[in-house]
Structure 1
Amino acid sequence: MHDNLVHAEAGPAAATTAERPDRGPFRWKGVLLGGAVIWVLMLAALLLTHNVALLPAIAIIGAGTVPLSVVLRNGERRAGTGLTLDDLFYAFLIGGTVGILLGGVFDAEVERLLGSGGALLLAGFVEEAAKAVALIWVARRVAARSMRAGIYLGAAVGAGFATFETTFYAMRGLLTGSTANVLRDLPGVVGAVVGTEVFRAVLSPFMHITWTAILGGVLFAATRNGRFRLTPAVVGTYVLVAVLHGLWDGAVPAAAQAAAKAVDSAYRTLHHPRGDWSAAQSHVQAEASLASFGVLLGGYLVVIATGLLVLRAMTRHARAVEEAERSAAAGRAAYRGGLT
């Protein structure tokens, strides 16, 4: 369904232009499939040739294919928002870069002051604020200020941020050690990269993209005369997405670990029990792992569902507002036509 805004006052030529399907030069499904195919081919080439120069390209393509596809999908549905594809690409590249820059700096400062535990606890508040600043920076060049424009532009900033962050996680294991060490355990390296990128690619639409889209929609809806305002709704939404982010990063994994240790006090993250291995220990360890997985899965599903429900409600509200504005404009045009 396209949200083409047709002004009744305009002539037939303008109406025909507005009603034309608003599609970008790319189809998001083709980009998604093509990116996945290229990624797999690069992995195969790496394993066959042992050319580690392919690893950065593998990390970037694997990290960016799904987020970019989401941006293109929104681009095909942007009619009526006043946004262009250039706006969304700009938000993806520049907004994502500014967001990851600010997030990286302030995450490091928080960790320096409060330690790794404090940094993990406050990561949601730090990174969501960084993305909000990046979104406002990007929005300076965009005249559109509707809720749906904010949702799509925020999603693009979140997609750029997610791409850079996933690239880091995929490459993290390669940041230490020599090329010889990488080649010695190349299957293990490839397995770690694949596991990280597949996991984060599948979940990326429900994490940074959703959270920044929610905040962007409320932030844009709160503008007056083109100026952003720090309203109670904006502050409350920021706290909501920061809490969802914090639950994902820290609280849910911590709860999963606590559940596992409640079953087996010797349980550790690497799933190696302390003491001598025995059948009894193996059984307890399996139960602990199952408890950990259950809490982890349940917690993540709650975070995902909450974000999606909020975003869906916002999108429906935004479309309803746009429809009401179209109806009001048509009514005014009909009234003026009747007077003449």
Structure 2
Amino acid sequence: MTVPPPPPPGWYPDPSPAPSYRWWSGVAWTEHTWPPPPAPANAQAAAAQTGAAVAQGDVRPRRRKWLGRFGGWLIVAASAAVWLWLFGLSLLVTALAPHAGDGAPAVLSPYLLVTGSGTAAAAIFYTMAYKLRPEDGVTVPRLAAVALIGGTLATLIVLPVEGLIDVLAGGTARHPSLAVLASAGAVEELVKLGCVLLLCSRLPVKNARVGLFVGGAVGLGFSFIENLSYLQQSYVLGHDNGSGIGLFLTTTAGRELTGPFLHPVFSALLGAAVFGAARNGRFRITLGVVGAYLGVAAAHGLFNSLQWAGSERAFGPASGFLLLLADLMFVIASGVTWLLVVRHIRRRDARALAT
């Protein structure tokens, strides 16, 4: 007698204790249900204030937690206030004692370094955490641990590997080789994906939506740590040629524009492909997964190659303008791709619940 295989992971009707859906991991039932169990009477009375919005067609009541839905923008505003305070204080000290710093070594404020490398990453992470749902099976502390541990572990692996490639290709700290920049996409995306799988292999829910969150979290952690090294290097090198804080500011603007948007998007898209291909709670290597990896690795490598070409003035006097244009095109293209993937996941989940 042949025993039929268990159903694939997904939401299935769970009639007890109340009509709802329960997540089947492909092996066993989990504790995650949707909608959540009904709240006690006192909580229901407190939630009655949001009933009007629900009656008007809003399926889910408006969530009020942490800094609100625009908390990411508040983080950016707080960082801007820190910069204004530090530079305003510096100008005041210079006006009162213009020669107070003569002979002292140039030291970069840690506030400028941390906010310059992490503001956009923190704002994006806040927005991701705010949009987590109970049925995702990922808590905010778990997502933060994935970002911090995954980003740290990935950079500790990537740095020596890329350093060895650069040395073998004849690159230097001031002039990295084209080989290390072109291969960075393949190396970094593979290492980040490995960290995602290592840290998230025991998550109860494995689908494309969860893959977007955990992949993006590792990308944000990696971007933050990588940006720290870029900003430190630019400040030190800037003092050699007299540009100092100017080179630091331009590097900060470029890294805040590209790093937190490209690294998380690449990792999120790859995470969505891998988690979406999982069956019965196990990860699989499919043609879709391989294609996603090759796509993000190629896009990442192309972006770095264009950065190298711009720094080497390969496009002549217009290299700076063309490099900025290429950065904007990559940011827009990655954002559009992410939106299309998110829309596809939402439609597929809606069809699954409807059936």
Q: Please report the TM-score for the alignment, with normalisation by the length of structure 1.
A: 0.74
Q: Is the 8 A contact 2:306 2:323 kept in 1?
A: no
Shift of 1:42: 3.0
Deviations 1:96-138 (A, max 9, x none): 1111111112111222333323212211111111211121122
Q: Pick the aligned partner of 1:146 from 176, 184, 207.
A: 207
Change (3 A) 1:220 1:125: same
SS in 1 for 2:255: helix
Change (3 A) 1:67 1:117: same
Find the counterpart in structure 2 of residue 257 from structure 1: 313
Find the counterpart in structure 2 of residue 320 from structure 1: 347
**Structure 2 residues not aligned, in runs of 5+:** 1-12, 21-36, 48-58, 95-100, 171-176
Structure number having the greater strand percentage? 2
**Counterpart check, 1:304 vs 2:348:** no
Change (3 A) 1:327 1:114: same
Q: Pick the aligned partner of 2:220 from 153, 156, 159.
A: 159
Find the counterpart in structure 1 of residue 148 from structure 2: 93
**For 1:155-194, what aligned pairs fall within 5 Å after superposition?**
155-174=216-235, 188-194=243-249
Q: Please report the TM-score for the alignment, with normalisation by the length of structure 2.
A: 0.71
Find the counterpart in structure 1 of residue 77 from structure 2: 33
Q: Pick the aligned partner of 1:13 from 39, 55, 58.
A: 39
**Counterpart check, 1:236 vs 2:246:** no
Q: Is the 8 A contact 2:274 2:289 kept in 1?
A: yes
Change (3 A) 1:131 1:45: farther
Deviations 1:301-332 (A, max 9, x none): 4433332232111101111122123223xxxx
SS in 1 for 2:205: coil
Change (3 A) 1:230 1:44: farther
CA distance in 2, matches of 1:84, 1:21: 19
Q: Is the 8 A contact 2:121 2:220 kept in 1?
A: yes
Find the counterpart in structure 1 of residue 10 from structure 2: none
After superposition, the CA RMSD in angstroms is: 3.2
**For 1:6-85, what aligned pairs fall within 5 Å after superposition?**
9-10=19-20, 12-13=38-39, 19=60, 21-22=62-63, 24-26=65-67, 27-45=71-89, 48=93, 55-79=109-133, 80-85=135-140
Structure number having the greater helix percentage? 1
**For 1:255-294, what aligned pairs fall within 5 Å after superposition?**
257-260=313-316, 289-290=317-318, 292-294=319-321
Shift of 1:298: 4.0
Shift of 1:159: 0.9
**Structure 1 residues not aligned, in runs of 5+:** 1-5, 261-288, 329-340
Deviations 1:231-264 (A, max 9, x none): 211111111111111111113642783331xxxx
Change (3 A) 1:176 1:190: closer
Identity between Structure 1 and Structure 2 (%): 28
Letter in 1 for 2:121: P
Shift of 1:46: 5.1
